[in-house]
Amino acid sequence: MRWAQSFGVAVVLSLLAAGTRADEPAAQDSETVEREAIIEETSVGEAIAETAAPGWHYPKGYASRPLTMNQYMIRGTFLVDVKRAVPGNTSGTATGAPLVSIDLGAAFSVFDNLEVGVNNYRLGSTPPNAGQAMFPIVVAPKGSFGDMPLYVRYSFLRKDYVEMAADFVLLLPSWTNLSATFGLPMRIRVRDVFTIDTGTELVILSNGAGLNVEVPVKAIYNITPAGFIFGDSGFSFQNLARNVTGGSDFDTNLAFPVARNQVFVPLGVGGGYTHVIKNLVMVDVFARFGWNPFVYVNPPSGRNAVPVVDTWVLTVGAIIHTSPILHEGDL
């Protein structure tokens, strides 16, 4: 009966609003409506997408957001990544202790269509890699400092139903190897509450001149204005045409660093909740669990042949957005 209750409340509010407009038409016409809402009705009759806060015209719904933030917004990320698929140095099975890292990253939007950051998280791209961030702290199987991915994203196409951007990511290694990523993320809006992210990423590996080709596919659905769920998959072509067998067993760019010419399908599911604090800070709390890989197209051999049951990856964390008001001196 939830839909009936919601419908009844909506009718009452509409009648009250209509009465108010009838009594004060002149005053209503002169006001500036600061809070925008993107109304989308679901099967249970709930309005989903809305802006983050009055005066902050950035979508609250995860599925409704653009590929780049609004000008002067800052995004911080706090991620705890646990990666089971770490081949042992001398065995053909995963090590007893998984790879665990605490990754703290940040990004800043210079313009509405230009975003820069030091982070392993970018909206609409492949899932974050463990051990990469502005402050990537590796805590297991042994303590270390990870790698720092510096990125620039430029959004060159923004239509009602499709967006495209260009990424350049330079991975500065203190733990593994130098690499560069060129990406073309794409966000397709099926509805305001349902989005499909896809695109292509080319990762150039410096050690042995290897290449990764990633084709991610991710579907996001806002089940409420604040709650969202998602599933991601795609195709991963790793260590292609590498001249020499190289890489670290803990190389965060690769599922199996020593095996070449690997093709597999990852799979992950997750969800989260968005909360706005004092109309100035928006926080997404989320979790993702998946397998990388989930299906082998050509399974590796030898010590890289890790069973799928041991290839799980878990990420929990928070994504923090700050309002542009914080950077405009209006407080």
- For 172-212, the pLDDT digits (tens) are 988 888 899 999 999 999 988 999 999 999 999 887 668 89
The CA-CA-CA angle for residues 126, 132, 134, to 5°, reads: 120
pLDDT at 272 over 70: yes
pLDDT at 13 over 60: no
pLDDT at 308 over 70: yes
Average pLDDT over residues 37-43: 40
| Cβ 169 vs Cβ 193: under 8 Å | no
Q: DSSP characters for 179-194?
A: EEEEEEEEEEEEETTE
205 or 106: which leads in pLDDT: 106
pLDDT one-digit tens code per residue, 191-201: 889 999 999 99
Which residue, among 102, 106, 100, 171, has the nearest Cα to 136 in the 3D structure?
102
pLDDT the model gives residue 80: 97
Return all residues near 117 (Cβ < 8 A) that are at least 6 apart: 75, 105, 106, 107, 108, 150, 151
pLDDT at 286 over 60: yes
Give the residue range(s) of CATH 2.40.160.40 domains in the chain: 69-327
The residue whose two tokens read 């397709």 is 188
Lowest average pLDDT, out of 35-39, 91-95, 273-277, goes to: 35-39
3-state secondary structure of 227: strand
Lowest average pLDDT, out of 31-45, 93-107, 142-156, 259-273, goes to: 31-45
| Cβ 283 vs Cβ 319: under 8 Å | yes
The residue whose two tokens read 């230009």 is 114
pLDDT at 168 over 60: yes
Q: How many CB atoms lie within 10 A of CB 247?
A: 22
* Helices within the chain (DSSP H only): 2-23, 25-30
DSSP state of 220: E
Q: How far apart are CA 188 and CA 158, in angstroms?
A: 10
pLDDT one-digit tens code per residue, 233-253: 999 998 887 665 555 555 667
Strand boundaries in the chain, DSSP class E: 51-53, 56-59, 74-83, 99-111, 114-118, 135-140, 144-145, 148-158, 162-172, 179-191, 194-205, 210-222, 227-240, 262-277, 281-296, 312-322
**pTM of this prediction?**
0.79
| Cβ 308 vs Cβ 96: under 8 Å | no
Lowest average pLDDT, out of 43-57, 67-81, 139-153, goes to: 43-57
Q: How far apart are CA 74 and CA 326, in angstroms?
A: 9
| Domain at 69-327, CATH from 2.60.98.20, 2.40.160.40, 2.20.28.270, 3.40.50.1820 | 2.40.160.40
The residue whose two tokens read 């051990």 is 131
pLDDT at 262 over 90: no
